[in-house]
Amino acid sequence: MNEKAVKIEDSRDVVRARHEGREMARKLGFGPADQARLATAISELTRNVIQYAGKGVCVITDASEMGIAKIRVRVEDHGPGIADIDQAIEPGFSTGNGLGAGLPGTRRLVHEFRIDSKPGHTVVSIAIVRRRA
Ligand SMILES: Nc1ncnc2c1ncn2[C@@H]1O[C@H](COP(=O)(O)OP(=O)(O)O)[C@@H](O)[C@H]1O
Ligand SMILES: [Mg+2]
C-alpha cells in the first residue's frame, strides 16, 4: 500500500502535502478536476492544523481496491481540538477571523468526510473514489 506522510508545520508543508495528494490522484487516473478538489481539500485541512494546532501530520494513502481507485487522507494534530464539530462545519463559523468556509467547503469537495476530535487530538479523514475502467 502506497502511503505518504507529510509533517505539517508551516506553509511550505501545505504546498508539499497538496503536491503529494495531486500526484497520487494523477497516478491513480483521477482527472484534473478531482486532482484539484483533493489538493484544495488538503490545503484547507493542513492550513487549519497550522492555524489552530500549530503542527501536525498529513498522511495520504492509496486505498484502492479491485475496481475502485481510492485516496484516503488523514490530517491529524494534537492541538486544542474542535469543541463543537457540528458548529465547525457550519458555513461561516470561525474562531480565527476566517471565512469559515474551509471545513464545509472541504466536505462538499470529497466523497468521504469525517471529523474525530477531543482536546489534544483531532483527526479529519477524507477520501475520494472513482470507478476504474
Ligand atoms: N485542526 C483544528 N483544531 C482545532 N480547531 C479547528 C481545527 N480545524 C478547524 N477548527 C475550528 O473549526 C473552525 C472552522 O474551520 P474552517 O471551516 O476551516 O474555517 P476558518 O479556518 O476560516 O475559521 C475554525 O475556526 C476552528 O474553530
Ligand atoms: Mg480553515
Mind listing the pLDDT tens digit for each residue in 28-84? 999 999 999 999 999 999 999 999 999 999 999 999 999 999 999 999 999 999 999
pLDDT band at 132 (very low <50, low <70, confident <90, very high): confident
Compute the distance between CA of residue 56 and CA of residue 34 in angstroms, rounded to an integer.
25
Q: Catalogue all structural domains in the chain, each as residue range(s) with its CATH number.
A: 3-131 (3.30.565.10)
Residue at grid coordinates 478531482 = 34
Compute the distance between CA of residue 28 and CA of residue 38 in angstroms, rounded to an integer.
13
CA 105 to chain centre: 11
Q: What is the mean pLDDT of residues 96-120?
A: 96
- 114 closest CA partner among 105, 87, 102, 123: 123
Q: Is the CB of 47 under 6 A from ligand 1?
A: no
pLDDT at 1 over 80: no
Please tell me whether residue 76 adopts helix, strand or coil conformation: strand
Number of the ligand 1 atom closest to the C-alpha atom of 103? 17
Q: Which three cell numbers mark 92?
A: 461561516
Number of the ligand 1 atom closest to the C-alpha atom of 56? 1
Ligand minimally distant from the alpha carbon of residue 91: 1
pTM (two decimals): 0.97
- 42 closest CA partner among 68, 72, 63: 72
Residues in the chain: 133
**Centre of ligand 2 from the C-alpha of residue 46, in Å:** 9
Amino acid at site 64: S
